[in-house]
């Protein structure tokens, strides 16, 4: 009788067979890159266990030098030419690299081998022979194309010399400036400086002042510096503003006759209390059959801003309005955004509308998309509308309550279909007349906010479906979609693992509806608990980024097959693109060039990301500025991030986040356990884990770097390293420096001439 194989030997055989299949797949790829999903698909492998096995095998092959991991989770075979091209990535901490054009691999470049290439320069490199277990290294042999470089910092000017003291993560060196190139800049001014040259034998680059932003530390100066840091405009070109001023509302009898006149239908806006650009309004009237006509009316911006005009080119370049803590930098000049196009009460306005016939349960019976003329009867703030919803008393209470019931029905149907419910509180600041933050409050989404949100979602979905799914099996025309891809399986697995440590279950596999419902359950169950903010943030991070594209893959987070942005043309250029395409296609026009449209989509997505980064930077700046007034005070918080350099802690009281540097954990030597998201002490075994509740003292507040440093303390307010960091003298010293104590971030080597050596 044949001897039966043991389970262990069967597993070894299966593992060997899988390895052979994977190696066979790799051998056929040549120089192409691949990830575990592509390997699994090619092998017909399904199931989370075999996916994990393939992931581990690829990581093992990369560790042994049999594969190159060109970026996290992306691999290729190690055959390559020694000479190739790529984009140089400069870092102030000296960890320079080149991202190769061929496969996107990141290869280290020592400073001595950089030829003073700057961040973003196109370079040719020579790659050293690869050695097992050693990171590949390259030498720049030619700078093919120099990227125009500007940096922001503080001018240091004396009788003999001038330089810009930068605080850039892309440059460790100060920039020397000839006095003739200062453009009127004085000592202590914050300036934008362009690098003009960097001779190979010099330790510092040479530059010239592009613009003076103002005195360092002044609020407007710092906000403009944040915009400039991300390459965003901080003032409007005078000629563009003049062009806008010449535009008239132009609501003539002829124009009204060409549209649906809805000025006699009850219409109102609901917006934040400080809003001035009202780009959407709702109308409602009850029909004779008991159903309702609900109109979603959007400012008809493209009636006034025509393609290829000065105004249009500026709007396209900006792509979005930018919302900082204390100001809005509009995409369109205020004459349009706050005036002609804004749906202000008691003014006739030209609008582009989605008009729905709905029953009382919010089922859409029919719809039409058309250009209209409307007149808002009332402007509500969210707070006013919320009070009416809660009390049933106020202007147009019956209509608002009806719309709110419909919105709740729409929201329930959306969640039942698998839409993810993210409802995280946003940090906001009350600032004084100088822009200094005096208090923190949280912006929460209530029923009034969600009422508007649901009808905007309905309009966006309807418009996208109208074009993306034409009747009669016709081929869809090129269009702008707002797409949201499926989550990365690895990030979803991480979320599931961390959620389990808190007692929650998140599905890693299954249909998108099942996965999203499990996330919604977790988000609902965690409400009011200490880990709520942390887990909701982690859930958001597990998702892909939503972008604009002409290739429709649906919107995973909303569980919509078709979705676009139609409802905010005052502040988003893609909405203007959608309005123009709608007008063209509803009139029977031919499809536009998809490739050109895709370029505009990519630009809009990129600018949206820059605007979001700038908004976060302004919030971080105000958080550091606010906490600078609370040096030495003790707060409770939750560990929101764990890295090899320390613990990030988010405060319960105001959601400000700061770093507890690992070097300040003086009671032990701590190792970073990446898999379990914790730091573990070698001697005492003390463990600091993601999501743990802690007490911290505010130790440093560095406004230049927008960094907060905390010190862990016990219930008595004492902590490791107290003599160095928590003493009254240390706090006073930091306060004397205006809240700009030394930060725990990577230290820059300041390089000047003669007196300061690199």
DSSP 8-state code for residue 525 = H
Check pLDDT > 70 for residue 430: yes
CB atoms within 10 A of CB 528: 6
635 pLDDT band (50/70/90 cuts)?
A: very high
Q: What is the mean pLDDT of residues 330-358?
A: 96
Check pLDDT > 60 for residue 497: yes
237 pLDDT band (50/70/90 cuts)?
A: very high
Residue 294: the pLDDT is 98
Check pLDDT > 50 for residue 731: no
Residue 12: the pLDDT is 59
The structure tokens listed for 68 are 């190159």
Residue 130: the pLDDT is 62
The structure tokens listed for 109 are 């470049």
345 has which bridge partners? 376
Q: Using a pLDDT cut of 90, give the percent of the chain over it.
A: 54
Cα–Cα dist 744/665, whole Å: 13
Q: Let me know how long the chain is.
A: 758
Task: Give residue-wise pLDDT tens across range 140-151.
Answer: 989 999 888 889
Residue 11: the pLDDT is 58
Task: Give residue-wise pLDDT tens across range 448-477.
Answer: 999 999 999 999 999 999 999 998 878 999
190 pLDDT band (50/70/90 cuts)?
A: very high
Report the mean per-residue pLDDT for the chain: 87
- Region for residue 738 given its phi and psi (left: phi exceeds 0; alpha: psi -120 to 50; beta: otherwise): left
Q: What is the mean pLDDT of residues 236-257?
A: 94
Q: Which of 397-401, 494-498, 510-514, 552-556 has the lowest mean pLDDT?
A: 510-514
Cα–Cα dist 519/414, whole Å: 14
Q: What is the pTM of this model?
A: 0.80
Q: What is the mean pLDDT of residues 298-317?
A: 97
752 pLDDT band (50/70/90 cuts)?
A: very low
Cα–Cα dist 657/707, whole Å: 9
The structure tokens listed for 706 are 């927008």
- Region for residue 94 given its phi and psi (left: phi exceeds 0; alpha: psi -120 to 50; beta: otherwise): left
Sign of torsion, CA 736 740 743 747? negative
Cα–Cα dist 91/118, whole Å: 9
Cα–Cα dist 525/539, whole Å: 14
| 327, 348 Cβ separation under 8 angstroms | no
Question: Which tops the pLDDT comparison, 74 or 466?
Answer: 466
DSSP 8-state code for residue 185 = -
| 593, 550 Cβ separation under 8 angstroms | no
Residue 9: the pLDDT is 56
Cα–Cα dist 45/185, whole Å: 64
Check pLDDT > 70 for residue 508: yes
Residue 129: the pLDDT is 66
Q: What is the mean pLDDT of residues 255-274?
A: 96
Question: Which tops the pLDDT comparison, 172 or 742?
Answer: 172
Residue 716: the pLDDT is 65
Task: Give residue-wise pLDDT tens across range 345-382.
Answer: 999 999 999 999 999 999 999 999 999 999 999 999 99
Residue 422: the pLDDT is 75
């Amino acid at each position: 009788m044949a001897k039966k194989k043991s389970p262990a030997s069967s597993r070894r055989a299966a593992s060997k067979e899988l390895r052979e299949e994977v190696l066979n797949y790799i051998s056929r790829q040549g120089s192409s890159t691949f990830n575990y999903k592509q390997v699994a698909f090619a092998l017909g492998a399904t199931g989370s266990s075999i996916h994990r096995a393939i992931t581990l095998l690829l990581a093992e092959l990369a560790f042994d030098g049999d594969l190159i991991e060109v970026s996290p989770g992306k691999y290729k075979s190690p055959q390559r030419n020694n000479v190739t091209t790529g984009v140089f990535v400069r870092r102030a901490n000296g960890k320079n690299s080149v991202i190769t054009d061929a496969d996107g691999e990141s290869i280290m470049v020592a400073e001595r081998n950089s030829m003073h290439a700057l961040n973003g320069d196109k370079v040719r490199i020579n790659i050293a022979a690869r050695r097992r277990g050693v990171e590949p290294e390259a030498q720049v042999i030619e700078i093919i194309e120099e990227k125009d470089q500007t940096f922001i910092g503080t001018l240091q000017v004396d009788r003999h010399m001038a330089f810009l003291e930068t605080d850039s993560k892309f440059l460790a060196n100060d920039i020397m400036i000839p006095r003739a190139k200062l453009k009127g800049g004085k000592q202590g001014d914050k300036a934008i400086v362009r690098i003009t040259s960097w001779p190979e034998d010099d330790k510092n680059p040479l530059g010239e002042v592009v613009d003076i932003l103002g005195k360092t530390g002044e609020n407007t100066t710092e906000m403009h510096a944040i915009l400039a840091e991300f390459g965003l405009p901080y003032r409007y070109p005078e000629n563009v503003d003049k062009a806008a001023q010449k535009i008239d509302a132009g609501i003539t009898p002829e124009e009204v006759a060409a549209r649906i006149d809805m000025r006699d239908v009850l219409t109102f806006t609901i917006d934040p209390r400080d809003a001035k650009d009202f780009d959407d309004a709702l109308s409602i009237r009850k029909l004779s059959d008991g159903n309702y006509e609900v109109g979603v009316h959007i400012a008809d911006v493209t009636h006034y801003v025509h393609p290829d005009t000065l105004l249009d080119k500026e709007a396209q370049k900006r792509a979005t309005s930018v919302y900082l803590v204390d100001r809005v930098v509009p995409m369109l000049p205020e004459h349009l955004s706050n005036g002609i196009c804004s749906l202000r009460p008691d003014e006739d306005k030209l609008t582009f509308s989605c008009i729905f016939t709905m029953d009382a349960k919010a089922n859409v019976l029919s719809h039409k998309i058309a250009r209209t003329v409307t007149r808002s009867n009332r402007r509500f703030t969210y707070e006013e509308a919320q009070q009416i919803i809660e009390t049933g008393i106020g202007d147009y209470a019956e209509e608002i309550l009806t719309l709110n019931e419909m919105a709740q029905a729409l929201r329930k149907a959306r969640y039942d279909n698998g839409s993810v419910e993210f409802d995280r509180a946003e940090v906001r600041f009350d600032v004084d007349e100088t822009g200094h933050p005096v208090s923190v409050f949280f912006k929460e989404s209530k029923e009034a906010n969600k009422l508007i949100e649901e009808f905007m979602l309905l309009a966006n979905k309807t418009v996208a479906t109208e074009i993306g799914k034409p009747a009669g099996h016709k081929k869809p025309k090129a269009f702008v979609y707002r797409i949201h891809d499926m989550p990365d399986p690895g990030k979803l697995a991480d979320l599931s693992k961390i959620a389990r440590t808190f007692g929650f279950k998140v599905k890693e596999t299954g249909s998108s509806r099942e996965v999203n419902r499990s996330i919604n359950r977790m988000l609902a169950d965690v409400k009011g608990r200490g880990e709520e903010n942390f887990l909701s943030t982690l859930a958001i991070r597990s998702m892909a980024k939503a972008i604009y594209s002409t290739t429709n893959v649906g919107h995973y987070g909303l569980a919509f097959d078709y979705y676009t942005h139609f409802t905010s043309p005052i502040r988003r250029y893609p909405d203007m693109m959608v309005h123009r395409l709608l007008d063209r296609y509803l009139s029977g026009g031919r499809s536009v060039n998809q490739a050109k449209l895709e370029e505009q989509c990519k630009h809009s997505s990129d600018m949206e990301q820059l605007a979001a980064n700038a908004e976060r930077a302004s919030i971080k700046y105000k958080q550091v500025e606010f906490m600078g007034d609370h040096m030495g005070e003790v707060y409770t918080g939750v560990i929101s991030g764990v890295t090899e350099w320390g613990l990030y802690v988010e405060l319960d009281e105001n959601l400000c986040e700061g770093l507890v540097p690992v070097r300040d954990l003086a009671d032990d030597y701590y190792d970073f356990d990446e898999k379990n998201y914790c730091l573990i002490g070698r001697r005492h075994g003390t463990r600091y884990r993601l999501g743990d509740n802690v007490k911290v003292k505010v130790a440093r507040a560095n406004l230049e770097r927008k960094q907060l440093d905390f010190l862990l303390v016990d219930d008595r307010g004492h902590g490791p390293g107290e003599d160095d960091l928590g003493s009254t003298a240390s706090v006073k010293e930091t306060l004397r420096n205006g809240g700009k104590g030394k930060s725990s971030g990577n230290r820059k080597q300041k390089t000047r001439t003669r007196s300061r050596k690199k």
